[in-house]
């Protein structure tokens, strides 16, 4: 196992920047928020650990790319930000991918994210991806396919002999298709992938600073090691993109974990008829909840 470590100065620069304008912006944050974010470059911090590499197939080794610090994120001319007219995130069940989503994107949507049980891969040279997003079009897709415990022990074979075009509201194509059991682990994995892809749409690139939700993952084991939380550098990026109070955000996350029903802020008006409400299994979220509570203790000192 290899640990990716950055110096205190490198992490501090990645978070705060040396640009006077961005330094001033950081200094205007609430004192508690700065205290939490500064955990990123404290030598003895335990809230935000380093990235660990376990094999040559891990994302950073397999897909080398330049890291993105806060200044690069802030200055990105192609980065999109929500507006009063485009501030909603839509989740759409689909069988086809990004072009379909672009056509189905409501006018008030900042982004639309599709979910599917079809295994995904962007090109023949790749084995698979858990999700993919288009930053410029504000669309993304992720798959539940490999999250079920029996996916790798099952076989799915066959080829499409004739292309068939059906109505986007016709879900018959999914009849008798593999559907995993809705477990706490599946929900945790799905939340990671969904929020990771939406993070890309907000302009966050793959994180190479600390253990973080925005790390890339090349296989399920690596995806499971990736935390559900953002590191301080990526947290500041997201806060800059959409604006929120960290205390209020973290308290809302704790309430979501504790609430047995879905969040009251989520609209199901566009759900197809016949949809049923399922219990929300959150046993796998207990460790994350404890982590959030520790962060709140730091912010509220």
Q: Which residues does the annotation mark as catalytic?
A: 197
Return the closest-CA partner of residue 116 out of 43, 35, 49, 190. Answer: 190
> Can you say whether the dihedral through the CA atoms of 64, 66, 70, 73 is positive or negative?
negative
Distance CA 256, CA 238 (A): 19
* In contact, 288 and 192? CB cutoff 8 Å: no
The CA distance from 45 to 152, in Å, is 37
Query: Is residue 76 classed exposed, middle or buried when 0-12, 13-18 and 19+ CB atoms within 10 A define those classes?
Result: middle
Query: Pairing state of beta strands 88-93 and 131-134?
Result: unpaired
């Amino acid at each position: 196992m290899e640990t990716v470590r950055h110096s205190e100065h490198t992490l501090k620069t990645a978070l705060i920047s040396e640009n006077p304008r961005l330094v001033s912006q950081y200094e205007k944050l609430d004192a508690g928020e700065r205290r939490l974010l500064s955990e990123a470059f404290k030598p003895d911090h335990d809230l935000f650990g380093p990235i660990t590499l376990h094999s040559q197939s891990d994302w950073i080794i397999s897909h080398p790319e330049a890291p993105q610090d806060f200044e690069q994120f802030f200055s990105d001319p192609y980065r999109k930000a929500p507006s009063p007219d485009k501030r909603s995130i839509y989740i759409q069940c689909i069988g086809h991918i990004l072009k379909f989503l672009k056509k189905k994107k409501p006018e008030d949507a900042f982004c639309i994210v599709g979910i599917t049980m079809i295994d995904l891969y962007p090109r023949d040279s790749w084995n698979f991806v858990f999700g993919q997003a288009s930053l410029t079009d504000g669309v993304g897709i992720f798959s539940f396919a490999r999250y079920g415990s029996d996916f790798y022990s099952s076989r799915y074979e066959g080829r499409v002999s004739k292309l068939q075009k059906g109505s986007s509201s016709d879900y018959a194509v999914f009849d008798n298709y593999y559907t995993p059991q809705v477990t706490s682990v599946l929900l945790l994995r799905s939340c990671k992938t969904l929020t990771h892809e939406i993070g890309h749409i907000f302009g966050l690139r793959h994180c190479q600073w600390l253990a973080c939700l925005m790390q890339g993952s090349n296989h399920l084991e690596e995806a499971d090691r990736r935390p559900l939380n953002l590191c301080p550098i990526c947290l500041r990026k997201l806060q800059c993109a959409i604006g929120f109070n960290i205390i209020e955000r973290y308290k809302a996350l704790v309430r979501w974990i504790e609430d047995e029903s879905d969040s009251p802020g989520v609209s199901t008006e566009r759900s197809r008829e016949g949809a049923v409400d399922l219990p929300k299994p959150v046993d796998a979220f207990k460790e994350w909840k404890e982590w959030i509570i520790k962060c709140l203790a730091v912010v509220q000192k």
